[in-house]
Homo-oligomer: A and B are copies of this chain.
Amino acid sequence: MVENPLHLLMNPKSIATVGAGNNPDKMGTFHAANLLKSGYQGKFYPVHPEEKIVLGHKAYASVSDLPEAPDLALLIVPAHQVASLLEAFGKIGTRRAIVITAGFREIGAEGKKLEEEVVNVAKKYGIRFVGPNCIGTINTRTLINTTVAPHANRLGRLGLASHSGTYIAQTFFHLNRRGIRYSRAISLGNEASITIVDALEYLGEDEDTKAIILYIEGIREGRRFIEVAQRITPHKPVLALYAGGSVAGAKAGMSHTGAMAGPDFLYDGIFRQAGIIRVQTIEELYGHGWALATQPPLRGSRLGIVTNSGGPGTSISHTANVGGLDIPTFTETLQEQIRKRIHGHAASANPVDLTFTLDKQALGAGLPEMVMKSDEVDCLIIHGVMDRNANVYPDADGNLDNSPPVEVSAEDRLFLSASVSLPGKYKKPMLMSSFFDRRDSFMAFYEDHDIPVYDVPEKAARAMADLLKYKKVRERKVATAAPMPPPSADAEKLVNAALKRGQKSLDEYEAKQILSAYGIPVTRERLATTEDEVVAAAREIGFPLALKGCSPDILHKTGKGLIRLGVAGEDETINGFRAIRNAADKAIPVLVQEMIPGSRELMMGMTRFPAFGPVLLFGLGGIFTEVLKDVAFRAAPLSLEEAEEMVYDIRAGKMLEEFRGIPAVDIAALADILQRLGFISMLHPGIAEMDLNPLIVSGSKPIVADALIIINGKQ
């Protein structure tokens, strides 16, 4: 395996900067000053054409003057200088760089050309770089911070890879206020060399990183992204915030890093396939990531709640329940134990609600331990612990007290230490909810001991729900790759012949022949072009049957008089044949097809997305496809395990189960068809799109009743 380029880039022993000087208003100076301030202990070589000393360090007039080849070059220079500078570094032997500079692909054609030049130079020298158009990187183990942002210089557990530099360099206040600390953070920028998939892979291997968070505006290496994530997610949680899927979002993404953005629902499916948990806000990305990075894995769905007030207890219960967690009523035995520690009006059933209390120990440690050590919960949320002496009160004008937070007293430290040790001791996650932040000394204590604190109750509940989601990811079946079958020569011949005839699509009969060639069950049917043929075919298929006009010119047949269903005899057959040709206004062939009995209609499809290749769709069929948009996506090819997981992704998943006396759908058969569809799309690049709609479920077996294949001649 090739070593990930970020290992060296994130751990350089020597760094040269170009663009940093002594002018404090220049971006380059920001970066270099911050690097030095953050605690970097390695060698520092500023390159500057005029200055002799930069930020107190000896400066070098040019790259060729450097005393050694630095492990890393940090470039903050005008765009047109980057390629030649990289060349100079290449020549002296430097193999890693960070290009902060903007003004490349993201600004249009001219920038794109500049970017290509940079990439060519890098390739020539085997240089791998982050950027351009990025904000830099943070490593809290080596204290190397190449961004402009000051950051908590304490080793953290959360690894971030981001398409936006802002989410690395502008959120330090947000993170510090919540006690969240990075292990590593990487701003990818335009990904001209090192991509977000490289970063994901690196963070997967990094031992300091206990959970990975991704901010994504568009993935360029779709298949590799899924494969890398699938290797990581069974043993390390990955969360993602994807923005760019809506029309508006995609546009903003385009003007930002030039990233190729795909639609929202595709990413939904890709994340599920990869085992990645999707969140909806940057706050959730950090906050839920922090819960997963700090807490033991969740092993069940039972949540215990200890609170000092009812509203937050109710809010936590409600939100946790919506997120799939159970809030069990405690056994009488446990409740009796609890009641010994609480006063008469307090509730012991779960939530345990102490109501107004001055007994900080009971709320913070005594009752939580009682609940944690019981067999009755798998995790715990505590609301309302606080240092009542904290300077958290506003004055009469509503201003906050700005005096420093008080210290935790020695006495309180005892029970707080017991409290923060509970997750480790009982191997169960514990999260806190408080309306006070780390200006309350207790909250600071929890945060500094890696117990996440959320500023409203619902956020603690939602973070716990994502721990439950990760439990499901950890426990899911391992995907086993199925061997690709050999390509069908008949299928290829059909596609090529149609292309030669100038068709944009195959007719239903041809489409089903291709599906059939790969073992996908389709309706029995015959093509008829005369009245004699249609009668002969009808006798062979048997009544009742379906008649359909069949031509590559007809993409959608409904509502045009081209379909006759439930045709019951020979006269009706001949009449139907004539009527369809009349409706078509042309002597088109007519398909004589068996009628499949069945009350459930499903749909499958394939389309191709840039960066992801063939993508499969599964959903409800018939009119519901368009109306409900209840569909699931996955990138092809699919393992059977992935395909089975996919079919349960739709909201109407319950319809696949046994239902009012109708047998359950044969899930293995559905998965098998999806897998074969994936093979077809891999083996026949000339097929652009496929619609299998409906698949009628007959008894428990799905059978393709109609199919459309769009071709485009790509090889």
Q: Is the CB of B326 within 8 A of A152?
A: no
| Contact residues in B for A312 (Cβ distance below 8 Å) | 164, 166, 170
Contact with B along A623-647 (1 / 0, CB 8 A): 1101110100000000000000000
The CA-CA distance from A699 to B578 in the complex, in Å, is 26
Partner of A559, one of B252, B319, B459, B661: B661
Q: Is the CB of B394 within 8 A of A217?
A: no
Q: Is A456 an interface residue (CB 8 A)?
A: yes
Among residues of B, the one whose C-beta sits closest to the C-beta of A325 is B248
| Contact residues in B for A173 (Cβ distance below 8 Å) | 392-394, 400, 435-437
Least distance between A253 CB and chain B CB atoms (Å): 5
The CA-CA distance from A349 to B660 in the complex, in Å, is 55
CB interface residues, A 118-157, toward B, < 8 Å = 150-154
Number of copies: 2
Q: Is A429 an interface residue (CB 8 A)?
A: no
Known: A398-B181, A455-B174. A103 touches B345 (CB 8 A): yes
Q: Is the CB of A166 within 8 A of B309?
A: yes
Least distance between A680 CB and chain B CB atoms (Å): 27
Partner of A311, one of B25, B107, B256, B318: B256
Q: Is the CB of B247 within 8 A of A321?
A: yes
Q: Is A297 an interface residue (CB 8 A)?
A: no
Q: Is A518 an interface residue (CB 8 A)?
A: no
Q: Is the CB of A252 within 8 A of B627?
A: no
| Contact residues in B for A543 (Cβ distance below 8 Å) | none
Q: Is the CB of A154 within 8 A of B282?
A: no
Least distance between A306 CB and chain B CB atoms (Å): 13
Q: Is A475 an interface residue (CB 8 A)?
A: no
| Contact residues in B for A38 (Cβ distance below 8 Å) | 396
Least distance between A645 CB and chain B CB atoms (Å): 19
| Contact residues in B for A654 (Cβ distance below 8 Å) | 626-627
Q: Is the CB of B165 within 8 A of A252?
A: no
Q: Is A75 an interface residue (CB 8 A)?
A: no
Contact-residue bracket for chain A: 35 or more
Q: Is A39 an interface residue (CB 8 A)?
A: yes
Q: Is A329 an interface residue (CB 8 A)?
A: yes
Q: Is A4 an interface residue (CB 8 A)?
A: no
CB interface residues, A 205-245, toward B, < 8 Å = 215, 217, 241, 243-245
| Contact residues in B for A309 (Cβ distance below 8 Å) | 164-166, 170
Least distance between A684 CB and chain B CB atoms (Å): 29
The CA-CA distance from A459 to B215 in the complex, in Å, is 17
Stretch in contact with the other chain, from A353-361, A408-416, A499-507, A667-675:
A353-361
The CA-CA distance from A292 to B405 in the complex, in Å, is 34
Among residues of B, the one whose C-beta sits closest to the C-beta of A318 is B249
The CA-CA distance from A270 to B575 in the complex, in Å, is 54
Q: Is the CB of B345 within 8 A of A107?
A: yes
| Contact residues in B for A313 (Cβ distance below 8 Å) | 252, 256
| Contact residues in B for A215 (Cβ distance below 8 Å) | 311
Partner of A153, one of B396, B624, B652: B396
Q: Is A320 an interface residue (CB 8 A)?
A: yes
Q: Is the CB of B403 within 8 A of A402?
A: yes
Q: Is the CB of B256 within 8 A of A394?
A: no
Q: Is the CB of B243 within 8 A of A165?
A: no
Q: Is A273 an interface residue (CB 8 A)?
A: no
Q: Is the CB of B252 within 8 A of A317?
A: yes
Least distance between A646 CB and chain B CB atoms (Å): 18
Partner of A314, one of B154, B256, B661: B256
Q: Is the CB of A256 within 8 A of B353?
A: yes
Q: Is the CB of B351 within 8 A of A252?
A: yes
Q: Is A71 an interface residue (CB 8 A)?
A: no
Known: A25-B358, A256-B314, A435-B171. A623 touches B651 (CB 8 A): no
Q: Is A389 an interface residue (CB 8 A)?
A: no
Least distance between A118 CB and chain B CB atoms (Å): 16
| Contact residues in B for A392 (Cβ distance below 8 Å) | 173
Q: Is A167 an interface residue (CB 8 A)?
A: yes
The CA-CA distance from A305 to B251 in the complex, in Å, is 13
Q: Is the CB of A311 within 8 A of B251?
A: no
Q: Is A246 an interface residue (CB 8 A)?
A: yes
The CA-CA distance from A689 to B485 in the complex, in Å, is 57
Q: Is A162 an interface residue (CB 8 A)?
A: yes
Least distance between A558 CB and chain B CB atoms (Å): 5
Q: Is A310 an interface residue (CB 8 A)?
A: yes
Q: Is A384 an interface residue (CB 8 A)?
A: yes
The CA-CA distance from A241 to B321 in the complex, in Å, is 16
The CA-CA distance from A682 to B660 in the complex, in Å, is 33
| Contact residues in B for A318 (Cβ distance below 8 Å) | 243-246, 248-249, 252
| Contact residues in B for A582 (Cβ distance below 8 Å) | none
Q: Is the CB of A317 within 8 A of B249?
A: yes
Least distance between A252 CB and chain B CB atoms (Å): 4
Q: Is the CB of B251 within 8 A of A317?
A: yes
Q: Is the CB of B398 within 8 A of A153?
A: yes
Q: Is A84 an interface residue (CB 8 A)?
A: no
Q: Is A404 an interface residue (CB 8 A)?
A: yes
Q: Give residues in A with beta carbon < 8 Å to B.
A: 25, 27, 37-39, 102-103, 106-107, 150-154, 162-167, 170-174, 176-177, 181, 215, 217, 241, 243-249, 251-253, 255-257, 280-283, 305, 309-315, 317-322, 326-327, 329, 344-345, 347, 349, 351, 353, 355-356, 358, 384, 392-394, 396-398, 400, 402-405, 435-438, 455-459, 558-559, 599-600, 623-624, 626-628, 630, 651-652, 654-655, 659-662
Report, nearest first, the 8 A-B pairs whose CB atoms are least far apart: A164-B311, A152-B398, A559-B661, A249-B318, A256-B310, A246-B321, A166-B309, A248-B327
- Subset of 18 A-B contacts with CB under 8 Å: A151-B398, A152-B398, A153-B398, A164-B311, A166-B309, A173-B392, A173-B435, A174-B435, A174-B456, A217-B314, A248-B327, A255-B351, A281-B458, A281-B459, A282-B458, A402-B402, A402-B403, A559-B661
Beyond A243-B317, A283-B455, A627-B659: 8 further Cβ-contacts under 8 Å?
A: A150-B394, A174-B455, A252-B314, A255-B310, A283-B459, A558-B661, A624-B624, A624-B652
